[in-house]
Amino acid sequence: MSYIGGHLIGDPEFEVYGIGTLDNITSGNIVFLFQHQKISTSSSSVPDVIVCREGIDVQAKNLIMVENPRLAFIQLLPKFYTQDFPEPGIHPSAFIHPRAYVGKRVSIGAGTYVESDVIIDDDTILFPQVYIGKGCQIGKNCLIYPQTVIRENCILGDRVILQSGVVIGGDGFGYEKNGEIYLKVPHIGKVILENDVEVGANSTIDRATLGETRIGSGTKIDNLVMIAHNVKIGKNCIIVAQCGIAGSSRLGDDVVMAGQCGVVDHGKIGNRVRLAARTGVVNSIPDDQMVSGFPAQDHRTEIKEKVLLRKLPDLWQRIKNLEKKVFKS
């Protein structure tokens, strides 16, 4: 109870052995009831312990009422299940340049390659087949999963997590036509990921042309997200899968981008903005807005327009019928 701070209705001495799901109820397990979920009231399928939001009307042998079941789930799960991490040490097949610094209790997996002038701080884990480019700095307690690439001179804060296949600091997409050919724009800047940033599998964050591409502390980026050169993203943002943010865009703090959103180059999004799925941002969006559609506009306005669009075929038919009546008369 002290872990999640809930109110118990039932037997305080009841022993639990794990966390289960509504689809697979097992004796001795706790089941969490999240928003919109329902549970059968038959005695054969009632869990021994249910954790749910305060005020929910549900029958259970033991009930724990909490303010936020999902938060309680996050707090309680590590008490029953822990992830196995490799022990500190450097695998014999890893290459560590003599001028690289490796801190205390660092784990470096098989086939990982660390270039010169790299700093890897204490308690960080590099899984197998990771590449760390020259001059990079990696903070404490970071997790860098297999087949991740961190190009030269990039900086990671503490507790950064990079899932498999992430590329940090790849060249930006910039070309200038010279006669019949396109000349590549050099990108000599860096990428900075502040503390507690997480980047999902196969996402890419390009280095700046000059200066830096920066991701603010606490921001979480889903799988398959593309962030272009010189973008600056604020603190505690959520960016869902398949979003694309074009070069030199600016996002404020606490921005939420649902799946498949796009932001035009040099776009500006204010603090606490919410973007519905597949929103296309082509103009600046001020603070505290909820937007959707292409081009992005107030969400309520966009919903009204969609309702009207669905009525157009019927309206068109009514106009045609009226025309027939007018011409006959």
Q: Is the pTM of this model over 0.85?
A: yes
Amino acid at 265: D
Average per-residue pLDDT in the chain? 92
Cβ atoms of residues 84 and 97 within 8 Å? no
Q: What is the mean pLDDT of residues 171-198?
A: 97
Q: How confident is the model at residue 60 (pLDDT cuts 50, 70, 90)?
A: confident
Span 29-34, average pLDDT: 87
Report the alpha-carbon distance of residue 172 to residue 228 in Å, rounded. 6
Percent of all residues in the chain with a pLDDT value above 90, rounded to a whole number: 67
- Segment among 64-78, 172-186, 195-209, 290-304 with least mean pLDDT: 64-78
The pairing of beta strand 297-298 with beta strand 290-292: antiparallel
Q: What's the residue count for the chain?
A: 329
User: What whole-number distance in Å separates Cα of residue 221 and Cα of residue 240?
Assistant: 6
Instruction: For the domain covering 148-295, report its CATH number.
Output: 2.160.10.10
User: Given this model, what pLDDT does residue 42 score?
Assistant: 53
Interval 111-137: pLDDT, tens: 999 999 999 999 999 999 999 999 999
CATH number of 7-80: 3.40.1390
288 vs 319: CA distance, rounded Å:
41
Q: Which of 63, 62, 65 is nearest to 54 (CA)?
A: 65
C-alpha closest to that of 243 among 263, 256, 269, 225 = 225
> 17 phi and psi, to 5 degrees?
-120, -5
Domain ranges within the chain, ordered by starting residue: 7-80, 148-295
Pick the range with the lowest mean pLDDT from 70-79, 127-136, 166-175. Answer: 70-79
Cis amide leading into 295 (omega within 30)? yes
pLDDT in the model for residue 26: 81
Burial category of 38 from C-beta neighbours within 10 Å (exposed 0-12, middle 13-18, buried 19 and up) = exposed
Catalytic site residue from 187, 229, 266, 299: 229
- Which residues have a Cβ under 8 Å from the Cβ of 80 and sit 6 or more positions away? 17, 18, 19
Measured distance CA(260)–CA(211) in Å, rounded: 28
Is residue 299 part of the annotated active site? The answer reads no
Q: Give the three-state DSSP class for 326.
A: helix
Residue 295 has pLDDT above 70, yes or no: yes
